[in-house]
Amino acid sequence: MSESRNVVIVTGIPGVGKTTVINTAVEMVKENHDEDVLVLNFGTEMFEVASKKGQVEHRDEMRKLPTAIQRENQKLAGEAIAEKAKKTRVIVDTHTLIQTNNGYLIGLPEWVVRAIMPKTVVLVEADPEKIAQRRQDDPTRARDAQMVDTIETHQQMCRAAAVSVGTLTGATVRIIKNR
Ligand code: AMP
Ligand code: MG
């Protein structure tokens, strides 16, 4: 019997327009296949863990926590997502690289992706200028300011991280440009 995989991971750097792409995908699946897809936000799962432990009050504080704590919460969030994906089709909204005080934390390390076993990793990309603009315009979040050239490097590193997930799990990797 061939294995069935229920999870598509959608990733892209902050401000790339991931949420819009996900909402469109959910509508398309509903229209074309009459199927519902559960969208799970990895950050929300982590925030649930971290806020229960009294570590943070806002989701943008999580990447400032000691890395050991972030990794611990990340593992718990990954396991919670894997459990939910046993029953239904899932899109996971997450990051491949999180900018922490100690450099980039890998969002999808081996133990997380082996638990989730995604079918596909979708990497959403956009023009660095547009991303910088969108971050400035979002009053709901405490986004880190980033220069256009660092945004470009960050996006390149995300490609490498997405390919690593494919290498570890056999997932396919798809790049989508958000225009
Ligand atoms: P978001 O709302 O998608 O920007 O996620 C909020 C926060 O959740 C991020 O700033 C990270 O601190 C954390 N987060 C999201 N996905 C991951 C992940 N895969 N690994 C570690 N931290 C994550
Ligand atoms: Mg988002």
pLDDT along the chain (179 residues), means of 10: 83 92 92 92 97 97 96 97 93 95 95 97 95 85 79 95 98 94
pLDDT given for residue 148 in this prediction: 87
Beta-bridge partner residues of 8: 91, 120
Which residues, judged by CB distance below 6 Å to any ligand atom, belong to the binding site of ligand 1? 14, 41-43, 46, 59, 62-63, 70, 74, 94-95, 98, 105, 107-108
Beta-bridge partner residues of 105: 98
Domains held by the chain: number: 1
* Nearest of 169, 87, 73 to residue 121 by alpha carbon: 169
Instruction: For ligand 2, an ion, list residues with CB under 5 A.
Output: 18-19
The residue type of 116 is I
Give a yes or no: residue 1 inside a domain. no
Give a yes or no: residue 89 inside a domain. yes
pLDDT given for residue 93 in this prediction: 97
Q: Return the residue matching tokens 């504080």.
A: 61
Give a yes or no: residue 88 inside a domain. yes
Query: CATH no. for residue 141?
Result: 3.40.50.300
Q: pTM score > 0.95 for this model?
A: no
| Other Cβ atoms within 10 Å of 153 Cβ, number | 12
